[in-house]
Structure 1
Amino acid sequence: MLPKAEVAYFAIADISGYTNFLAAVELDHAQDIIADFMDAVVKALRPPFRLAKFEGDAAFVYTTAETIDGSLLQDAIEGAYFKFRRRLRSVRQASTCECKACVAMGDLDFKFVVHHGEMVKQRMGGREELAGRDVILVHRLLKNTVGAKLGGRAYALYSDAAIRAMGVDPVAQGLIAHRETIDIIGDVTLWVRDLEAAWQQDDAQRRVEVTRADAHAMLEFDIAAPRQTVWEFLTVPGQWQQWWDADTIVEESGKGRRGVGTKNHCMHGTHTVVEELLDWHPADNFTVGITLPVPDAPRIVMTRAVLDGPDGTTHLELRLAKPKPKDRAFVDGALAKYAERMTQAIAGLRSMLEGKQPVSDAVEEPALTRSSGRFLTDPVKSGAPR
């Protein structure tokens, strides 16, 4: 039988500075550093993406989800880059190694290319591979002139096909219009996100998180479903409304991108509860300020955290901030009602998600190359005997 064409999003995470890095430093620590950073990025991308294969200094990932929330997909790309930057910073702070590889690791960076189109799966060399014109295109887009336009800064490059499939307004979201001419394929319209600027903004943002230690009260639930799936059902209005007891949930996000400042209007009959995002860290946790439809009601602050549980399950924590003494009685009363509603709603969410993940016929994912962490545990001085 001929392979069946499937529609998919494709993405490539490519390490910038890879060739120069390997050519100028000690290979044992260099390879370990590369594996460490690539592991952080790929884990952050999946899900919604799956790993198709490693390609030297790049990871090729894809998803065949029929519909995917545009904000969710962009969060995955940017979140993967932020995880790399945080990992780079923590490694550099922890490392005492003076070898050339460890000194030069700060020269490494990532760029991402995202496209939407068709593909087929075909067996080559004993395993399935993705093939097709759009698979070729996303790879060809790695060779572009964006780096010169941004002065060598990290970026995410989205094809116009990907932007249209996500249903986002690139101009409203501040993406930069770009164009490349690809041999045989021709002119391609593209949109660029400056990831260095996005990282600086995210890193400078004041955290508004209720920790376990600081919480006035906390509700905890275990759900036998992947963390990314639970995150999606907590944050995407269309998914959220399937299990929460609101009549309608209307998202007000201004530029069409979910994040700090986004407001969700949860309508219950003639009453509306407004939740404003005060902090946003996909797909780890987010904090909301809740305004109840009660005159002079205090604003209730809550952090919702999704954590990895055992065997692919998710542990959900709802952490309530300590109220002012004068508001404690009101908040405790509201919490009691909320806990009852949430317990019932989570039971419905569990019935929707647990044990009902579709069996995938996707390409088998290759194993990640594990870093031994030798560059952290076995520091050396550059030029010393190995």
Structure 2
Amino acid sequence: MLPKAEAAYFAIADISGYTNFLAAVELDHAQDIIADFMDTVVKALRPPFRLAKFEGDAAFVYTTAEKIDGSLLQDAIEGAYFKFRRRLRSVRQASTCECQACVAMGDLDFKFVIHHGEMVKQKMGGREELAGRDVILVHRLLKNTVGEKIGGRAYALYSDAAIRAMGVDPVAQGLIAHHETIDVIGDVTLWARDLEAAWRQEDAQTRMQVTRDDAYAILEFDIAAPRQTVWEFFTVPGQWQKWWDADAIVEDSGKGRRGLGTKNHCMHGNHTVVEEMLDWRPTDYFTVGITLPIPGAPRIVMTRAVLDGPDGMTHLELRVAKPKPKDREFVDGAAAKYTERMTKAIAGLRSMLEGKQPVLDAVEDPALTRSGGRFLTEPVKSGARG
């Protein structure tokens, strides 16, 4: 029987500066550094993506999910890049090694190419391989001239097919239009995000997280479902409304990208509760300012943190910020009602999610190439080459 074609999103995370880096530095620490950074990025991409295979200086990932929210997919790509940048910074600050590899690690960067199309899975050499025209296309798109246009090596490059499948407006989101001519395939319309610029904006953002130590009240729940899934059911209006007792949830995200400044209007009969996003760090936490439909009511600030829980579960913490003394009585009353509603709603969410997550298939992801972390504490001996 011929393999069946499946629709899929494809992404390649490619290390920029890889060849020059390996050619000029000590190989033992260089391989540790590369493995560490690639491990960081691939872990951040899955889910929603799963690893197809490593390809030298790149990781090829994909997902066959029928429909992915456009904001979630972009968050996955940009979140993986942000975690690489944070890891790079922490490693450089912690490392005591002065070998050429450790000194030059700052020359490394990442670019991402994302496409949507069809593929078939086939067995080759005892393992699963993805094949098809669109698999070829996403690999060909790695060789492009985007860096010349944006003036940098860090970018996310989306094919127009991916943009349309995601259902986003690239112009409204400030993506940069680009075109490439691919041999045999022809002209391809593309949209680019400057990830260096996105990182500078992310890094400069003032965090507004209610921590456990600072919280006035905390609600905690464990849910036997993946973090990515719980995050989706708390942030995507269509999923959120499946378990929360609102008549409708209308999202106002301005440019069509969920995040800082997004307002959610939760409608209950003739009343509307407005939640404004004050901080946004997918898929770790988000902070909202809640305005209740009561004259003179104070705005209630709450951080909703999605954490790794025990035994593979997701631990959810809803942390309420300390109110002003004059508002404590109101917040206490509102919190009591909210606790009752949320406890009941979480019971419904659990029954919806627990034990009902789709199984991708019986094929396991390739193992990650793990770093020994030697470059953090073990300098290259004086007799090392380079």
Which residue of structure 1 aligns with residue 355 of structure 2?
A: 355
Superposed CA offset, 1:299-323 (max 9, x none): 0000000001133210000010000
Distance 1:358 1:196 in 2: 35
Superposed CA offset, 1:36-59 (max 9, x none): 111110011000001110000000
1:231 aligns with 2:228: no
Distance 2:28 2:171 in 1: 44
Contact preservation (8 Å) 2:244, 2:345 = yes
TM-score normalized with structure 2 length = 0.98
Distance 1:134 1:297 in 2: 54
Superposed CA offset, 1:183-232 (max 9, x none): 00000000000000000001001001001111011000000000000000
Matches within 5 A, 1:136-155: 136-155=136-155
The one-letter code sitting in structure 2 at the alignment partner of 1:204 is A
Structure 1's 383 and 298: CA in aligned 2 closer, same or farther, altered over 3 A?
A: farther
Matches within 5 A, 1:272-351: 272-351=272-351
Structure 1's 127 and 22: CA in aligned 2 closer, same or farther, altered over 3 A?
A: same
Which residue of structure 1 aligns with residue 57 of structure 2?
A: 57
Gaps of 5+ in 2: none
Q: Count how many residue pairs are aligned between Structure 1 and Structure 2.
A: 386
Deviation of residue 82 (structure 1)?
0.2
Contact preservation (8 Å) 2:230, 2:314 = yes
The one-letter code sitting in structure 1 at the alignment partner of 2:128 is E
Contact preservation (8 Å) 1:304, 1:317 = yes
- What SS class does the counterpart of residue 164 from structure 1 fall into? helix
- What SS class does the counterpart of residue 112 from structure 1 fall into? strand
Which residue of structure 2 aligns with residue 192 of structure 1?
A: 192
The one-letter code sitting in structure 2 at the alignment partner of 1:38 is M
Contact preservation (8 Å) 1:99, 1:382 = no
TM-score normalized with structure 1 length = 0.98
Which residue of structure 1 aligns with residue 244 of structure 2?
A: 244
Contact preservation (8 Å) 1:98, 1:382 = no
Structure 1's 385 and 138: CA in aligned 2 closer, same or farther, altered over 3 A?
A: closer
Deviation of residue 383 (structure 1)?
5.3
Superposed CA offset, 1:118-143 (max 9, x none): 00000001011110000000000000
Contact preservation (8 Å) 2:26, 2:385 = no
Gaps of 5+ in 1: none
1:269 aligns with 2:269: yes
Matches within 5 A, 1:64-103: 64-103=64-103
The one-letter code sitting in structure 1 at the alignment partner of 2:328 is R
Distance 1:277 1:176 in 2: 26
- What SS class does the counterpart of residue 206 from structure 1 fall into? coil
Distance 1:139 1:106 in 2: 25
- What SS class does the counterpart of residue 216 from structure 1 fall into? strand
Contact preservation (8 Å) 1:120, 1:131 = yes
Distance 2:376 2:115 in 1: 36
What is the RMSD of the two structures over their aligned residues, measured on CA atoms?
1.2
Distance 2:311 2:118 in 1: 33
- What SS class does the counterpart of residue 346 from structure 1 fall into? helix
- What SS class does the counterpart of residue 90 from structure 2 fall into? helix
1:5 aligns with 2:2: no
Identical aligned residues as a percent:
89
Contact preservation (8 Å) 2:70, 2:166 = yes
Which residue of structure 2 aligns with residue 113 of structure 1?
A: 113
